[in-house]
Amino acid sequence: MAEKILDAIEGPKDLKRLSPDELRRLADEIRELIIKTTSVTGGHLSSSLGAVELTIALHLTLNTPGDKVIWDVGHQCYAHKILTGRKDRFSSLRQYEGISGFPRRVESEYDVMDAGHAGSSISHALGMAIGRDLRGESYTVAAVIGDGSMTSGVAYEAMNQVGQNLESNLIIILNDNDMSISKNVGGVAKYLSRVRIKPGYTHLKEEVGGALHRISGVGDSILRSAKHFKDTITHAFLPGVLFETLGLKYVGPIDGHDIQELSEAIGQAKLVKAPVLLHVITQKGKGFDFSEEKPDRFHGVSSFDCETGEFEKISTNSTYTSIFGNAMIDLAEKRKDIVAITAAMKLGTGLDKYSKEFPDRFIDVGIAEQLGVNIGAGMALSGMKPVVAIYSTFLQRGFDQLSQEVCLPDLPVLFAVDRAGLVGEDGSTHHGYFDLTYLRALPNMVVMAPGDGDELSAMMRFGIDLKHPAAIRFPRGCADFLEPVGKTPIEMGKGEVLVEEGELLIIAIGDMVAKALSIGKALKEDGIKASIVNARFAKPLNIDFYRHIAGGKKLVVTLENNVLCGGFGSAVMEILSEAGLEVPVMSKGLPDHYINHGTIEELMSEIGLDASSLSEEIRERFRKVK
């Protein structure tokens, strides 16, 4: 069997001795490893496949880790991980205690910045470049950002600064595959598709020529090839006028699967004493038939069969996401004022079918959560009933808009906060650990979490009629359907008593209700009776209800899939204190540190939030207080 080129690659330096043909073969081998690995571990397949040649060219042309490559989102970084000393650990991708699916500073000196949320790379690169200049250093900083991530406001804010305030080198690589997760949206995406079809380089010729002459030791052959490069860019017609207007030197479009062309362009760009934008055209999902055909379906994958492209069937149970999507269709059929808003997550938030049935009442704002929240506010002002569906972790981006533009004017916008709590393999950047805390801090906001799948539909019906801002947070994955849940109508601020007995009270919110019921059973087997309450609300909490359920109890336990800081447990302590009840409260939730990746079960056990650890701890504590 022919030896693999990848076997001899321990780090980026090893790339420099490979021939163009070997580099191309290396790209194929990297693709094969990415496909094979993600077919088992799951992960961001299409984006990583599309960026293989670009990654090779970057590490070939720049001197990493001295030169800095900052990946936007970081979901496309698998080839980068493979080339920077992690190929032997690549099979542990996204696994508990394995390597992360995103760049992590703690993992490698080649991972310049932790990433996971879109749009930030240019601002980080700008900050580094300014710092570099102030410190008198001279490394290259490159930000790699996709056309989807380029819809983020912060990316424009950064470009606005870069073009006007940086007189030294910074390379922005726009990795344009005409796709976000699904088809990209917005005016700039349209502009880029016009630019994409026009061939030829533009600009850089003066800057490159001048810079090469200034560098001592540059040989004639390099100058000749630079001249060739300059000649090929003579047919300039300013396709990048948008970026040029912002003060960036635009180069492109460049074939993002041609390592030679990419390397030349990056090599030239690093010589320019100004910010340069390289417009690189790639194909999302490149090199694997199934992902080339359905790049959106293969954007983020669970395990699949490499031969058939079929995904492993995990469970036939409905997910919370699909229940939300169906509830939206039911509601929109009845009410003509309902509008759904998503921020580039039509598939992830379960709104695909809705968007087809109600195209006029569906808005995808791109990766612009702040905008999504504010459009929701505007629509509420116009008399419509907006439902803004954003993952918990990404809604953090719109916190100020939630406060200033929705809660302060007390507008009836309903937020569907998916992926609340631990999300598993995507890890620390994607866990929805904070929403109960940040949402309940806001005046006028109603914060709910369903105890099971059916209750999510009921909460949607309840939430849609509210005259105030409201949020329903629900977790990733299959919904529980619990026999005792949903027997009583939803009433503002009140929970549902599922079991009423004993001197121990367990109040759980959201997906912790199922756990509370199994803990209750385990404790009963040990002779400890416990009342179990499905909280339904994190805000407001009805004081009479809480006085009633906690009165006479020896211990109150709260369970939440959210950080303890300012979360549901804090809310319960506040209300019990207001009610004048002096009962010990034991709050169990997520700890005050970022949590890595792994299955949700593994992570829950690590932090002692699995049912058996919780039963044990509650049993001990209850024995002490009795």
Ligand X SMILES: Cc1ncc(C[n+]2csc(CCOP(=O)(O)OP(=O)(O)O)c2C)c(N)n1
- For ligand X, which residue of 86, 397, 440, 515 counts as binding (CB under 6 A)? 397
101 binds ligand X (CB under 6 A): no
The HSE-up count of residue 12 (CA atoms within 13 Å, CB side) is: 21
Binding mask 507-536 for ligand X (x = CB under 6 A): ------------------------------
Minimum Å distance from CB 492 to ligand X?
Answer: 31
Q: What backbone phi and psi angles, to 5 degrees, belong to 389?
A: -105, 110
Stretch that binds ligand X, among 28-36, 171-179, 553-561, 591-599 (CB under 6 A): 171-179
Q: What is the dihedral of CA 593, 595, 596, 599, to 10 degrees?
A: 160
588 DSSP β-pair partners: 559
Nearer to ligand X, 148 or 495 (CB): 148
Q: Which residue from 98, 101, 103, 148 is in contact with ligand X, where contact means CB under 6 A?
A: 148
358 contributes a contact to ligand X by CB under 6 A: no
Closest separation between CB of residue 124 and ligand X, Å?
14
Q: How far apart are CA 88 and CA 386, in angstroms?
A: 48
Nearest distance, CB of residue 150 and ligand X, angstroms: 7
Residue 284 is among the residues annotated as catalytic for this protein = yes
Give burial (CB, 10 Å; 0-12/13-18/19+) of 310: exposed
Stretch that binds ligand X, among 140-148, 228-236, 380-388, 483-491 (CB under 6 A): 140-148
Tokens of 495: 């929970």
Q: Where are the alpha helices (DSSP H) in 289-336?
A: 289-293, 320-334
Identified binder of ligand X from the candidate list 38, 41, 177, 291, rule CB under 6 A = 177
For residue 544, the minimal CB distance to ligand X (Å) is 40
Determine, following the binding rule CB under 6 A, whether residue 284 of this chain makes contact with ligand X.
yes
249-255 and 496-499 beta bridge pairing: unpaired
Q: Exactly one of 87, 249, 284, 473 is catalytic; name it.
A: 284
Cβ-based nearer residue to ligand X, 47 or 55: 47
Among 344, 414, 422, 460, binds ligand X (CB under 6 A): 344
Stretch of 135-143, 341-349, 519-527, 591-599 lying at the interface with ligand X (CB under 6 A): 341-349
For residues 445 and 67, give the distance between their C-alpha atoms in angstroms, rounded to a whole number: 46
Smallest separation, CB 154 to ligand X (Å)? 9
Cβ neighbours of 132 (radius 10 Å): 18
CB of 422 to ligand X, least distance (A): 17
Q: Does 181 bind ligand X (CB under 6 A)?
A: yes
The CA distance from 226 to 209, in Å, is 7
H/E stretch holding 141 reads strand 141-146
Helices vs strands, H then E, count in the chain: 24, 19
50: contact with ligand X by CB under 6 A: yes
Told to check if 75 binds ligand X by CB under 6 A, we report yes
Known active-site residue 68: no
Active site residue 356: no
Provide the sign of the torsion angle of the four alpha carbons 480, 485, 491, 493, taken in this order: negative
Nearest to 504 by CA among 446, 558, 563, 429: 558
- Tell which residue, 582, 585, 591, has the closest CA to residue 571: 585
Q: Count Cα neighbours of 492 within 13 Å in the Cβ-side half-sphere.
A: 10
Contact between 73 and ligand X per CB under 6 A: yes
- How far apart are CB 131 and ligand X at their closest, in Å? 24
Residue the block writes with tokens 């571990």: 41
Nearer Cβ to ligand X, position 150 or 471? 150
| Residues at the interface with ligand X (CB under 6 A) | 47, 50, 73, 75-76, 117-118, 146-149, 175, 177, 179-181, 284, 343-345, 367, 369, 394, 397
Catalytic residues: 284, 369, 397
